Amino acid sequence: MIEVRDLRLRYFRKPVLKGVSFTMEKGQITCLAGLNGAGKSTVLKAIMGLVPLDGGSIRIDGTETALHLAGNRRDLNRFRVQHVSYIPDRLAMPPSMKLWEALRFMDDFYPGIWNGGKAKEMMTFFGLGERERIANLSKGNAAKFNLVLGLALDTPYVLMDEPFSGIDLFSREAIAEVFSNSWLEDRGVLITTHEIQEVEHLIDKMVMLKDGVVAMAFDSEEMRLAENKSIIDVMREVYRP
């Protein structure tokens, strides 16, 4: 379980996160929702240690990993990377590299964590050619390759930042398939997305950010069972008073 407690962050004078708390479990798909600029991306980056916080705690399987609390711990970086795979909204690889070079980079730098077999499977599934250059990939293919780089790491948790952003319909469908198949098996997934309709039926838990805090967190099936409301219905209620 990843337990996020009382995250606080101010950007210049403006408070962005005012005490965000929620949990995400292994084996579940959790979706972090919020309006533009609500801080969803920031929360993910904070969990991954890429953005320092003003306060709060981030516990991954019980171990504290927030930069301001544990930043000097010896193996913090490796611990975090072994447990969490973060897929940002852009490719974090040199654009001059060819895809096979990037795959080899991952194999080289992530021994024991990188799963080359899974990577090959995913490349085939997405129809990506290894000889392509990263700079020449279409937006859809770049997003797919980004997923390969992130999901082929055998980590118990996966964070995805806007995996569907700005991609064509067919690429989005392919990416949505990832949520039902074996590459996400038993892993805890936290995604942020604007395209809720793409994945509404796939989400286990919703966490809704509003005004810097978690306004609502619920199990999607229970919401449907108990109140006959879709996730989008609840979002309408929460985000438009």
Residue ranges in contact with another protein by CB under 8 A: 11-12, 27-29, 45, 48-52, 67-68, 71-72, 74-78, 80-82, 86, 88, 90-95, 105, 108-110, 113, 134-135, 176-177, 179-182, 185, 200-204, 221, 224-225, 228-233
Closer residue to another protein in complex, CB, 169/225:
225
Rounded to a whole number of angstroms, the minimum distance from the CB of residue 4 to another protein is 18
Q: Which of 148, 192, 143 is nearest to 169 (CA)?
A: 143
List, in sequence order, every beta strand (DSSP E) within 94-212. 157-161, 188-192, 205-210
H or E element, residue 231 = helix 231-239
Compute the least distance from the CB of residue 120 to another protein, in Å: 18
Rounded to the nearest whole angstrom, what is the least distance from the CB of residue 160 to another protein in the complex?
14
Q: Looking at beta carbons only, is 37 or 95 nearer to another protein?
A: 95
The secondary element (H helix, E strand) that includes residue 11 is strand 2-11
Return d(Cα 174, Cα 199) in angstroms, integer: 12
- Between residues 48 and 143, which has the closer beta carbon with respect to another protein? 48
- As given in the structure block, the two tokens for residue 5 are 């407690």
List, as one string, the DSSP characters of 52-121.
--SEEEEEETTEE--HHHHTT-TTHHHHHHHHEEEE-SS--S-TTSBHHHHHHHHHHHSTTTB-HHHHHH
Which tokens belong to 180?
């039902």
Q: How far is the CB of 195 from another protein (least distance, A)?
A: 14
Q: How far is the CB of 189 from another protein (least distance, A)?
A: 10
